[in-house]
């Protein structure tokens, strides 16, 4: 049976480590500040943004949530971002995805000051990460690296298969793990919907990262004994026998894979809690860099 990688516990450790850094900033009359821009009324986005605001409050980080209707214009959204770029109280800006279809999400990302891009999505930050000189890193992939570090799972020399090629998770975690750096130096394969013989490719992996967005897609016969499995997926599936009528599952068949893996993340409670923890880390890091004039 696998050892469970407890994302809640590691996230708590990350937040605890931020406290002395926040204290030091406040001694310099700097309170780290995070602004979240929420467009429309997507329930999941509202829940997520509210969770971020509560996490900020608990740590003593200043937080703003800016809500706008779904019919906001591109120019009006630019105006909000421009104002936050100039606001000295704000060190981190995130515009919650998904945006309504009439808005250009990439153009909005490009509008954010890279020093305040706490999502780590701006091409400047992506490029710096790719060449091995990272600043603000994407939160979910960064969180996965922290999970490996906390559980002393060194990817150096290991074969990693990332299932999924999104700009948010798949591509950046691949870039992070192949770097010549601590908690990296892996041999990385990025697999996806067009990969031939996908089960055979996944079965080679010492570390499997599932980020494909399909419920329980990675089955027990696709992983080798002793593998490490990080499951990024959060999928709602029908469960008529439960009070809510549904349950949350990952991209991995947890019951089957946990019988073979050495380490595995659960869903919920695995990778998910790390995303907000690393967002807070990035906000503090951004405040430190801006305060230092970097």
Residue 265 vs residues 21, 170, 256: alpha-carbon distances, Å: 28, 17, 13
Contacts of 23 (CB under 8 A, 6+ apart): none
- Which residues are marked as active site? 52, 96, 119
Alpha carbon distance 202, 221 (integer Å): 10
- Report DSSP state, residue 220: G
Between β-strands 159-163 and 187-191, what pairing exists: parallel, antiparallel or unpaired? parallel
Asked if residues 101 and 263 have their Cβ atoms less than 8 Å apart, the reply is no
**Dihedral over alpha carbons 70, 73, 74, 78 (to 10 degrees):** -90
Length of the chain (residues): 294
Collapsing DSSP states into helix, strand and coil, what is residue 96?
coil
């Amino acid at each position: 049976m696998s050892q469970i990688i407890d994302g809640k516990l590691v996230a708590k450790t990350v937040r605890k480590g931020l406290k002395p850094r926040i204290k030091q900033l406040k001694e310099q009359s700097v309170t780290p500040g995070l602004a979240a821009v929420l467009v429309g009324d997507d329930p999941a986005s509202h829940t997520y943004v509210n969770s971020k605001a509560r996490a900020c409050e608990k740590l003593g980080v200043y937080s703003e949530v800016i809500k706008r209707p779904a019919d906001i214009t591109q120019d009006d959204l630019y105006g909000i971002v421009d104002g936050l770029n100039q606001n000295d109280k704000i060190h981190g800006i995130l515009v919650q995805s998904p945006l309504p279809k009439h808005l250009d999400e990439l153009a909005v990302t490009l509008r954010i000051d890279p020093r305040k891009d706490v999502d780590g999505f701006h091409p400047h930050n992506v490029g710096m990460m790719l060449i091995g000189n990272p600043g603000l890193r994407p939160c979910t992939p960064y969180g996965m690296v922290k999970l490996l570090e906390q559980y002393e799972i060194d990817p150096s020399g290991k074969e990693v298969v990332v299932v999924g090629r999104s700009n948010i998770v798949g591509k950046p975690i691949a870039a992070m793990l192949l770097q010549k750096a601590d908690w990296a130096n892996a041999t990385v394969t990025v697999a996806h919907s067009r990969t031939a013989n996908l089960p055979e490719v996944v079965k080679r992996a010492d570390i499997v990262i599932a980020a494909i967005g399909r419920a329980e897609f990675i089955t027990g016969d696709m992983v080798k004994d002793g593998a490490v499995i990080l499951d990024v997926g959060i999928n709602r599936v029908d469960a008529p026998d439960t009070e809510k009528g549904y349950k949350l599952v990952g991209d991995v068949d947890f019951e089957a894979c946990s019988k073979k893996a050495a380490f595995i993340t659960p869903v919920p409670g695995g990778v998910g809690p790390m995303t907000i923890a690393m967002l807070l880390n990035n906000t503090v890091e951004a405040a430190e860099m801006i305060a230092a004039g970097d």
